[in-house]
Amino acid sequence: MNQQQFMAYVEGTMITLQLTFISVILGFILAFFVAVMRMSKNKILKSISWVYVWVIRGTPMFLQILIAYFAVPIIYRNMTGQVLSNWSAFGAGVGALSLNTAAYTSEVIRSGIESIDKGQWEAAQALGMTKAQAMLKVIAPQTLKRLIPPFSNELTTIMKDTSLISTIGITELVKTSKGFAASGAIRFYFFCGAVYLVMTTLTTVFFDKVEKIAGKYE
């Protein structure tokens, strides 16, 4: 591997990491709201979040990416006659990934909260806590710890799925490797795999540690 190729890999890795972390952070924030909507007593909010999770989890992410990048600007143009300016591949990619991971993560958050025994709600309220207090002081801390393993899992999944973004013109790790391997140098595939393994292993190890630390307070 020459210096130019090495730099291309550094750049590709940075793009993969940016796509992953921006999407996962945005996705987590969105997931929180979706989970709250899903558990709310308001039927409309509940239905919206249900449809959202149903559509996103029931269709391939690859298709969602194609729609976000190719279909949205054309629909916009047909409806308004205007070009949707600055519809970037990075933005559409992050959008699709965030919306996707939010659907999965919202279910993780919901099941995390619902897995806490009902008795704890009742006990907290018996002690005179308001609903919000019970949530913040009793339920949320316990939920967070339970969220760590599935969240770590979702993070590594998204990290690998960023490779799908290459189809809309983003040169991340896999596309960098595809380019170098195109003339037969298949070693780049394996090098690419090794870079992913390092990243996913570090993520897993990190969250294992976090889980252990969080576990001390249970």
Partner 1 sequence: MKKLLSVLLVALLIVSFAACGNKDDQTAGNKYGLLEEGVLKVAMEAEYPPMEFKDENGNLTGFDVDMMKAIGEKLGVEIQYVEMEWAGIFMGLTAGNYDAVCSGVSITQARIDEKQMQFSDAYMNNGQYIVVSEGTTNINQPADLAGLKVGVQFQTTADIAAQKYLSDGIQFELISYDSVQQAFLALEGGQVDVVVADATVAIAYVNENNDKFDISNAKLTNEPMAIAVEYGNDELTEALNNALAELAADGTLADLSVKYVDTDLTQDIDMNLVSVE
Residues near partner 1 (CB under 8 A): 69-70, 72-74, 77, 83-85, 87-89, 166-169, 171, 175, 178-179, 181-184, 186-187, 190, 193-194, 197
Query: CB of residue 172 vs partner 1: minimum separation in angstroms?
Result: 12
Cβ closest to partner 1, residue 39 vs residue 66? 66
> Which helix (H) or strand (E) segment is 56 a member of?
helix 43-58
How far, in Å, are 24, 33, 148, 200, 202 from residue 206 at the CA level? Answer: 16, 26, 11, 10, 6
Instruction: Pick between residue 105 and residue 166 the one whose CB is nearest to partner 1.
Output: 166
Rounded to a whole number of angstroms, the minimum distance from the CB of residue 160 to partner 1 is 17
Q: Which residue, 98, 96, 112, 136, is CA-closest to 35?
A: 112
Angle of the 140-161 helix axis to the 187-215 helix axis, nearest 10: 180
> Which residue lies nearer to partner 1 by CB, 57 or 187?
187
CB-hemisphere CA count at 13 Å for 115? 14
State the Cα–Cα distance between residues 45 and 113, nearest whole angstrom: 18
Measuring CA to CA, which residue among 136, 152, 134 is closest to residue 208? 152
We find the least distance from the C-beta atom of residue 167 to partner 1, in angstroms, to be 5
Q: Cβ of residue 207: shortest distance to partner 1, in angstroms? A: 17
Residue 212: what are its φ and ψ, rounded to 5°? -65, -45
- Residue placing its CB nearer to partner 1 in the complex, 31 or 164: 164
Q: How far is the CB of 99 from partner 1 (least distance, A)?
A: 19
Q: Which two tokens stand for residue 44?
A: 């409309």
Q: Which is nearer to partner 1, 121 or 196 (CB)?
A: 196
Decide whether 100 or 177 has the Cβ nearer to partner 1: 177
According to DSSP, residue 185 is labeled -
Report the alpha-carbon distance of residue 72 to residue 19 in Å, rounded: 20
CB of 151 to partner 1, least distance (A): 24
